[in-house]
Amino acid sequence: MWLLVHAKDNSDVNVYTVHEPPGPPLDRIDRAAALVFVRDGFSWGAALFSPFYFLVKGQWVALLAYIVTIVLISALLWSTGIDKQWFSIAVLALNVFIGFEASTLEKAWLSFRGWNEIGTVAGRNLPECERRFFDAWLLGEAAPSIEAAPFGSSFDESARRVFGWRRFLGAGA
C-alpha cells in the first residue's frame, strides 16, 4: 500500500514523440525548429473541448468524424426512443475517449500529412525533453566542418586544405 501512495511522487515523467516535416530544411537549426513534439497521455483540453481542440490542431478529418459520430449517436438514441440523458452520457464517453486518444490522433494526422516520427524522449517536462532530444540528436548529426587554417599560413595553403584546389595553386589536376 505504501508503494501505491508514493507512486504519485515518481510519476512526473512525460513521454514525447518527435516528428519531422516532409522535406526538412538542410540547415540543422532550421530543421530543429521545424520539429514537433507530441506528448503521449491523457489530454484534458481534448476531453473537455473536443471540437475546439480539433479546430486548433487543424485536424479537420477528426472534427468531421466527431460531428458524424455525434449525429449518429443522436439518431440512434432518437430512433430507439431511449431517454435523452443517455445522449449526454454517450457524448461524455466519446469526449473521454478522445482525451485518451488525442496524441494518437495527432500522430496519425501528422503521418497522414507526410511527417516522419524520428524519435521518442522522456523527461519531467517539455523543455527537459527537448534538451535531452537535441543533445542526442545533434551528436548524431554530421556537422559541416571547415578546416581552419593555422596561424601564419597563407591563403593558398588554406584554400588547398579546405577546398582541395590544386589547379588554383598550379599543382596540377
Report pLDDT for 150: 46
What are the tens digits of pLDDT across the range 108-136? 999 999 999 999 999 999 999 999 999 99
Note whether 23 and 121 are within 8 A (CB). no
Report pLDDT for 84: 79
Alpha-carbon distance 20 to 126, whole Å? 17
* Burial state string for 114-137 with b = 16 or more CB within 10 A and e = fewer than 16: ebeeeeebebeeeeebbeebbeeb
Query: Which residue ranges make up each domain of the chain?
Result: 12-142, 147-173
Model-wide pTM > 0.75: no
What are the tens digits of pLDDT across the range 23-64? 888 888 899 999 999 999 999 999 999 999 999 999 999 999
Backbone angles phi, psi at 145, to 5 degrees: -120, 140
Q: Reduced to 3 states, what is the DSSP secondary structure of residue 15? A: strand
Residues whose CB falls within 8 Å of the CB of residue 26, separated by 6 or more in sequence, listed in order: none
Name the average pLDDT for the chain: 81
Alpha-carbon distance 13 to 128, whole Å? 10
Number of Cβ within a 10 Å radius of residue 158: 15
What are the tens digits of pLDDT across the range 70-104? 999 999 998 988 887 899 999 999 999 999 999 99
